[in-house]
Amino acid sequence: MKNSLKLVLAVVLCVFLAGVAGFADEYILGIGFTIFMYIALAQSWVVLSGLTGYISLGHVVFFGSGAYVFILIWGLVPVWLGVFCSGIVVGLVSLIVGYPVLRVRGPYFVILSFGLAELVKNLVLINEARMYVSMRPVFGAPALYQLYTAMLLLAIIATGLTYWIRRSRFGAGLRSIREDEEAAETIGVPVAKLKLLAFAISGVIPAMVGAIFIMRSGIFQSGDAFTPIVSFTMVTMAIIGGSDDAPGPFLGVVFLVLLQELLWVNWPEVYMIILGILLLGFVLFIPNGIYGWLSEKYFGNKKNVT
C-alpha cells in the first residue's frame, strides 16, 4: 500500500471514530474508551519494551502514578490541564528514577520492573493510610463522550509516536540496544541517553491514560490503580499483536478488548485465564505476534523476536 493512501485511510478512520462520539450510546462509547485506553498503553509499552528490549512487567506503575498525581491536584487546576500535568510530572520523575533503574540489564531489569511497581503501590497505600483515606471519589468528571474523545486522542498520539519512532534515527538506536547493547554503544549509540528517553516517553502517555481512567471509574483506590492486571494486559496485548512496530499492538488490543467485552463482566477470571493461555501460546509459537506473522507470511518481511 502506498504511504499516502495509508495516511488518508488512517485520517478517515480517526475522524470517523471522533464523529462517533457525537451520537453513539454509552455502551459503544465505553467499549471505544477501553479499546483506545489499551491501544495507548500497549503502544507506549512497545516504545520501551518492544523496541529497546527492556521488558517491563510493571508498566502499571506509570498508569497508577499518573492517576495519583491527577487525584492529588484534582480541583486545583482545570481538568485537562490536570491530565497534562500528571503526564509531565510522571515523565520528569521517570527521568530521575530511570537513571539508576536502566543500568540494570536483561532479566534483572524485568524482575526489577515487577518489584518497583509493587514498591510504589505500597508506598502510595501507606501514604493514603496516613492521611486516613482509603479511596477518593472523583466528582464532576467530564461526560463520557469527552473522555472518549480524549482517550481517542491519546491512542492516536501513542500510535503515531510508536510508528514514527520505529522509523526514526532514535528508533534505530533503540532497536540496536535491544539486539546488543554493548555493540550498539561501540558504533556510537548513546545508549544511556536513548534508554532514558524511551523510558520517559513510555511513561508519559500511560500516566495521562491513568488520569483519564479514574475520571471514568469515578474513584481512585491505590490497590486498583496499581493493579498488576493492567501491566499484564498491556504486555499480553502487545506481544499477541507483535511488539516491533505500531500496527502490532493495535491488532492485539482490538482482538482482546472484544474478548474482554464478552467475558469480563460475568467471568473475569475466565478472561484472565484465556489471556494467560494466549500469552503462553504466542511466546512459544508465534513470538513475533500477529503482525509479525502476517508480514512474514504475506509480505516476505522478516520481523524479529522480542
Partner 1 sequence: MDSLLSPQLLAAAMITGVLYALISLGLNLVYGTMRLLNVAHGDLVMIGAYVAFIAFSLLNIGPLVSMFGAALICGFLGWLSYKCVFQRLLSNGQLLSRLEENSLLLFFALSVIIQNLAILFFSADRRGYEYLSAIVEIGDVRLTGARLTVLIVGAVISAAVVFFLRFSLFGLAMNALIQNRDASAIVGINVDRVQMSSLIFGFGITGLAGALISMMEPISPVMGFPYTMSAFVIIILGGLGNLWGGFLAGLLLGVLEVYGVALTGPEWRSVLVYGIFVLILIFRPQGLLGSGKTAR
Partner 2 sequence: MLLEINDIHKKFGGLVALQGINFSVGYGETLGLMGANGAGKTTLFSLIAGHQEPTLGSIIFEGQKINRMRPDQISALGIARTYQIVRPFRGLSVLENVTTGALYGAHKIRSIKNASKFSREILEDVELKDRAEDLAGSLTLAGFKRLELAKALATGPKIILLDEVMAGLTPREVNEAISIIETCKRKYNLTVVVIEHVMKALMRMCERIVVLHHGEMIAEGTPGQISEDSVVIKAYLGEQN
Residues forming the site for partner 2 (CB under 8 A): 167-169, 172-173, 175-176, 178-180, 182-192, 302, 304-305
Q: Which is nearer to partner 2, 75 or 190 (CB)?
A: 190
CA distance linking residue 286 with residue 281, whole number of Å: 7
The site partner of 186 among partner 2, partner 1, none (C-beta below 5 to 8 Å per kind) is: partner 2
What are 211's three cell numbers? Answer: 488520569
CA distance linking residue 78 with residue 151, whole number of Å: 17
Shortest distance in whole angstroms from residue 38 CB to partner 1: 16
Q: Which is nearer to partner 1, 99 or 164 (CB)?
A: 99
Q: Is the dihedral of CA 53, 54, 57, 58 positive or negative?
A: negative
Q: Which is nearer to partner 2, 71 or 177 (CB)?
A: 177
Q: Which is nearer to partner 1, 60 or 79 (CB)?
A: 60
Q: Which has the closest alpha carbon to 44: 66, 29, 12, 27?
A: 66
The site partner of 188 among partner 2, partner 1, none (C-beta below 5 to 8 Å per kind) is: partner 2
Q: Which is nearer to partner 1, 88 or 118 (CB)?
A: 118
* Contact present, 215 and 141 (Cβ < 8 Å): yes
The site partner of 123 among partner 1, partner 2, none (C-beta below 5 to 8 Å per kind) is: partner 1
Who contacts 174 (Cβ-Cβ below 8 Å, separation ≥6)? 47, 51, 52, 165, 194, 195, 198
Shortest distance in whole angstroms from residue 283 CB to partner 1: 5
Count of CA atoms in the C-beta half-sphere (13 A) of 48: 34
The site partner of 108 among partner 1, partner 2, none (C-beta below 5 to 8 Å per kind) is: partner 1
Shortest distance in whole angstroms from residue 179 CB to partner 2: 3
155-171 residues labelled b (16+ CB within 10 A) or e (exposed): bbbbbebbbebbeeebb
Q: Which residues bind partner 1 (CB under 8 A)?
A: 53, 55, 57, 100-101, 103-108, 110-112, 114-116, 118-119, 122-123, 125-126, 129, 228, 232, 235-236, 239, 269-270, 272-273, 275-277, 279-280, 283-284, 287, 305-306
CA distance linking residue 153 with residue 102, whole number of Å: 29
